[in-house]
Amino acid sequence: MWEGSQVTQVGGRSYDIAVVGAGVFGAWTAYQLQREGKKTILLDAYGPSNARASSGGESRIIRAGYGPDEVYTRMSVRALGLWHEFLDHTGNQALFHPTGVLWLARGNDAYEQACVETFAKVGVKVERLSRDDLAKRYPQIDSTDVAWAFLEVSAGALLARRCVQAVVRESVRLGVEYRTARIRPLAATSQDPGKLDSVITEAGDHISAGTFIFACGPWLPQVFPDLLRHRIFPTRQEVYFIGVPPEDHRFRPPAMPAWIFQADQIYGIPDIENRGFKLAFDSHGPRFNPDAGERVVSSEGILAIHAYLAKRFPALKDAPVVETRVCQYENTSNGDFLIDRHPELSNVFLVGGGSGHGFKHGPVVGEYTAGVVNGTSTQEPRFSLATKGEVQQRRVF
């Protein structure tokens, strides 16, 4: 018997688990718990992987490189295997593009060197490239200020929005009840002050369960303002898609991989499905309201992205921006995930803090969260609420 396993009935229906938030963390958590035999309901205010969600958008890189950080490297390796298993099982193999990920480095970049060393320990295949190798294989990249690079061979890109929706569809097929519903601010409705009996939707429906998992990303500070208002920091992030010239295959797979240049704090994904060559700066933007924030890119951002294209990809210096997106990171103080029990409500769990790097880890987060809820997983100290401060000092990239 696992803690919180009692079933509470409402309107003739009964749930072991209620998961609030149908992004990549919530969807995979509901999927995993339903597979383990828990009667699960999944709720989202705007729908799975919607335009406001941190899991929305066309694509995300999946890579194992985290410098010397073995925790996330090992998680990513397992996540990639679980993504492949799921996509193969559901007939969605086309949602993963095996582009590889090219890491660019300057001469003394310790982070990239640590990636290579960690990969050797974990067993991730890489190809190390000198500047001359890079120029010959990828002449479309201006590598004047690049000393060396490595290609993470098995990495690639996931089609984010469609991946999450596929997980939700399969969860529903397995028996998860999905509802588009917004949860009202929590109220003390339980006779036991140390537990949550139910949540109430904006439509007035009461949803009761034995255990509640709040995986609502940038909305976590709204649901738990006293606890998380100063520990989760949603930031505004701009994404650009560049129009590739006709019949120019240099910026499409397989000629162009996904790529990361930590020194410039920028990453990109090749032209997949003819949407354009994607670029985004990884530095944190200003604070952002996920409900009310305008999702229109800035003129300063357009100028910055054109300047970077002229520098790094000169063949695209006059190429147009064909599509843009404003999304958000939901950062913790240090970039580590938040996966922990609520300190005052014994049957409530908090899952979030993707911090701009979380999407790829969705399957492992679901697996780990299910284990924490069931009492079968050992708590990773770095994911605890206690390690989340009120001042941002980013350590995970």
Give the rounded percent of residues in the chain with a pLDDT score beyond 70.
95
Same domain, 210 and 262: no
- C-beta atoms surrounding 94 within 10 Å: 10
Same domain, 238 and 118: yes
Same domain, 133 and 238: yes
Rg, the chain, Cα only? 21
Domain stop point among 330, 347, 372: 330
pLDDT tens digits, one per residue of 130-140 = 999 999 999 99
Could you tell me the pTM of the whole model?
Answer: 0.94
Same domain, 173 and 322: no
Looking at residues 344-364, what average pLDDT do you find? 97
Same domain, 257 and 318: yes
Same domain, 125 and 137: yes
Spatial contact of 105 and 149, defined as CB atoms under 8 Å apart: yes
Same domain, 270 and 322: yes
Same domain, 241 and 314: yes
Instruction: Return left, alpha or beta for 35; rule: phi > 0 is left, psi -120 to 50 is alpha, else beta.
Output: alpha
Amino acid sitting at position 89: H
Same domain, 148 and 227: no
Looking at residues 331-335, what average pLDDT do you find? 96
pLDDT tens digits, one per residue of 143-179 = 999 999 999 999 999 999 999 999 999 999 999 999 9
What's the mean pLDDT when you consider all of the chain? 94
Same domain, 49 and 193: yes
- Give how many domains the chain has, as a whole number: 2
How does DSSP classify residue 208? E
Instruction: Please report which confidence band the pLDDT of residue 66 belongs to, taking 50, 70 and 90 as the band edges.
Output: very high
Helix/strand/coil for 354: coil
- pLDDT score recorded for residue 1: 23
Same domain, 151 and 241: yes
**Dist. CA 143–CA 6, nearest whole Å:** 60
Spatial contact of 49 and 21, defined as CB atoms under 8 Å apart: no
- pLDDT score recorded for residue 185: 85
Which domain CATH number covers 345? Answer: 3.50.50.60
